[in-house]
């Protein structure tokens, strides 16, 4: 089929979770279909000169940051049904490219909600809304106590949930990365039969990377320019790390990813190294004795956990950090939600080689069974077939295979 793919994130270089997902899924789909990619691109990003240009039929870009407002706030932005963040970042140039491309394609995929708006007026073509996410805004409301701030968050969630419900209902199929996200959509009134779970994944080659940890070294993979990552690092450094260092003075945390304008000097003085973006994240993960994921907020599922499990690096996470993944506490991951329990788990992993080996083996088995990009790509291809066939015929064998995968992933 000729597939139109629209992405707000420039998929290359795949230096964050959102970009990596788009990049890997497009690479897989291009093996079976002809892909026409439309993407935004900031300075320094050039998917036309990337491997994507070799696998896609064509790659076109619109210059600029798709998440920065293109127009000033207007009254309609406050009272309209579309959240103002999407109204203000809407690009007429991208809409023009989409309008030109749709008649030449058999189906279309919008990667995330921002990209979906450009397909809103094209209901004559089968369409997929890929990776719908509601947890972040939902949690902002549910985590607050009664206050004016909670009332504002409640209004935001009310408006956003209705916007998402209408958008999901207008597409032939939508995908989410976990069963938890799927249930959130059902709660706001979406038809469960039109929503499919397509998880995050890792490269199968990572399952065969040797793990050679440096004693006492821990890693947190994630740019602190993202508020949930910054909150997690601050929580770990303030409440957990001192407990670990009391038992293991050699304990050292590496935080990889962009720091932007965040002042990390105070945190760096407490046994933490901010590496910035690294050329080889796998080497950083395999040289760490434990991957810590002390997240307290955020949506989706954590690629950092899947990558660590695939590479044989044990993971200690909060319940929120491990949310949406088919992990089992004590078997392939350790989970704790208090500073004392979290620190105790990390110390156990640092001190107990047999525990590290058991967690590593079980983690790799889980990833190989459920979370490789090949499996994920096949799942999305099944959703694509469903979307096309839902307008006419019965589901194909490919679509039925996806339904089997989705059931096993829940």
Confidence (pLDDT) at 319: 96
Beta-bridge partner residues of 182: none
Question: What's the pLDDT tens digit per position in 356-378?
Answer: 999 999 999 999 999 999 999 99
| Phi-psi sector, 67: left (phi>0), alpha (psi -120 to 50), beta | alpha
- pLDDT for 154: 73
Residue 232, C-beta contacts closer than 8 angstroms, at least 6 positions apart:
220, 222, 293, 294, 295, 296, 321
Higher pLDDT, 247 or 299: 247
The average confidence (pLDDT) of the chain is 89
**Looking at residue 231, what DSSP letter applies?**
H
Least confident of 19-33, 125-139, 176-190, 226-240: 125-139
Q: What pLDDT is recorded for position 48?
A: 87
pLDDT, residue 273, reads 94
Distance of CA 375 to the CA centre of its chain: 16
What local confidence, expressed as pLDDT, does residue 393 receive?
56
Q: Under CATH, what is the fold of the domain 204-370? A: Rossmann fold (3.40.50)
Q: What is the secondary structure of 336-377 as a DSSP string?
A: --SHHHHHHHHHHHHH-HHHHHHHHHHHHHHHHHH-BHHHHH
Q: Is the pLDDT of residue 72 over 70?
A: no
Closest to 263 measured CA to CA, from 277, 274, 251, 252: 274
Kindly tell me the sign of the dihedral angle through the C-alpha atoms of 178, 202, 378, 370: negative
DSSP 15-53: -SHHHHHHHHHHHHHTTTSEEEEEEEE-TT--GGGSTHH
- Tell me how far apart the alpha carbons of residues 276 and 392 are, in angstroms, rounded to a whole number: 50
Q: How many degrees, rounded to 5, is the angle at CA 116 between CA 111 and CA 120?
A: 155
- pLDDT, tens digit, 9 for 90 and up, residues 32-68: 999 999 999 998 888 888 899 999 999 999 998 888 8
Model confidence over 276-287: pLDDT tens digits? 988 888 999 999
Token pair of 41, please?
A: 């691109």
Question: Is the pLDDT at 410 greater than 50, yes or no?
Answer: no
pLDDT, average across residues 172-192:
94
Count of alpha carbons within 13 angstroms of residue 57, beta-carbon side: 14
Helix, strand, coil shares, percent, the chain, to 5: 50, 15, 35
The reported pLDDT for the residue numbered 405 is 44
**Is the confidence at residue 7, as pLDDT, over 80?**
yes
pLDDT bin (cut points 50, 70, 90) of residue 407 is very low
| pLDDT for the residue 194 | 95
What is the biggest distance separating any 2 CA atoms in the chain, rounded to whole angstroms? 65
- CATH 3.40.50.2000 residue ranges in the chain? 2-202+372-409, 204-370
pLDDT at 406 over 50: no
Beta pairing partners, 202: 372
pLDDT tens readout for residues 195-228: 999 999 998 887 877 778 999 999 999 999 989 9
| 2-202+372-409, CATH topology level | Rossmann fold (3.40.50)
Write the pLDDT tens digit of every residue in 229-261. Answer: 999 999 999 999 999 999 999 999 999 988 989
- Whole-structure pTM value: 0.85
Which tens digits make up the pLDDT trace of 303-348? Answer: 999 999 999 999 999 999 999 999 999 999 999 999 999 999 999 9
pLDDT band, very low/low/confident/very high, at 409 (cuts 50, 70, 90): very low
Q: How far, in Å, CA of 172 to CA of 408, rounded?
A: 23
Percentage of the residues of the chain whose pLDDT score is greater than 90? 68
């Amino acid at each position: 089929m000729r597939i139109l793919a629209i992405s707000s994130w420039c998929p290359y270089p795949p230096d964050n979770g959102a970009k990596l997902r788009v990049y890997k899924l497009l690479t897989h789909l291009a093996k079976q279909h002809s892909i026409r990619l439309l993407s935004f691109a900031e300075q320094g990003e050039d998917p036309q000169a990337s491997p994507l240009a070799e696998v896609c039929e064509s790659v076109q870009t619109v210059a600029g940051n798709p998440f920065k407002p293109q127009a000033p706030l207007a009254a309609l932005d406050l009272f309209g049904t579309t959240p103002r963040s999407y109204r203000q970042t809407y690009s007429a140039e991208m809409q023009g490219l989409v309008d030109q491309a749709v008649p030449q394609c058999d189906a279309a995929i919008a990667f995330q909600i921002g990209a979906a708006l450009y397909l809103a007026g094209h209901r004559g073509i089968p369409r997929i809304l890929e990776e719908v996410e509601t947890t972040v805004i939902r949690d902002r409301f549910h985590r607050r106590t009664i206050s004016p701030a909670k009332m504002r968050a409640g209004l935001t969630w009310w408006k956003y949930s209705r916007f998402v419900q209408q958008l999901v209902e207008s597409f032939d199929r939508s995908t989410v990365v976990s069963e938890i996200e799927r249930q959130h959509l059902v709660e706001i009134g979406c038809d469960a039969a039109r929503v499919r779970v397509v998880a995050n994944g890792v490269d199968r080659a990572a399952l065969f990377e040797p793990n050679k940890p440096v004693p006492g070294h821990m890693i947190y993979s994630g740019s602190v320019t993202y508020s949930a990552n910054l909150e997690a690092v601050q929580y770990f450094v303030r409440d957990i790390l001192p407990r670990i260092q009391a038992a293991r003075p050699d304990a050292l945390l590496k935080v990889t990813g962009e720091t932007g304008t965040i002042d990390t000097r105070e945190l760096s003085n407490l046994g933490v190294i901010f590496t910035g973006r690294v050329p080889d994240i796998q080497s950083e993960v395999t040289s760490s004795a434990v991957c810590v994921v002390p997240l307290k907020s955020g949506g989706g599922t954590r690629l950092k956990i899947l990558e660590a499990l695939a590479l044989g690096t044990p993971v200690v996470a909060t319940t929120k950090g491990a949310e949406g993944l088919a992990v089992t506490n004590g078997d392939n991951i350790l989970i704790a939600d208090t500073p004392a329990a979290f620190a105790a788990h990390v110390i156990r992993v640092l001190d107990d080689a047999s525990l590290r080996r058991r967690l590593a083996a079980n983690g790799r088995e889980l990833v190989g069974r459920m979370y490789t990009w090949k499996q994920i790509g096949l799942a999305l291809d099944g959703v694509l077939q469903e979307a096309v066939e839902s307008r006419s015929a019965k589901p194909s064998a490919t679509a039925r295979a996806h339904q089997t995968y989705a059931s096993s992933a829940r």
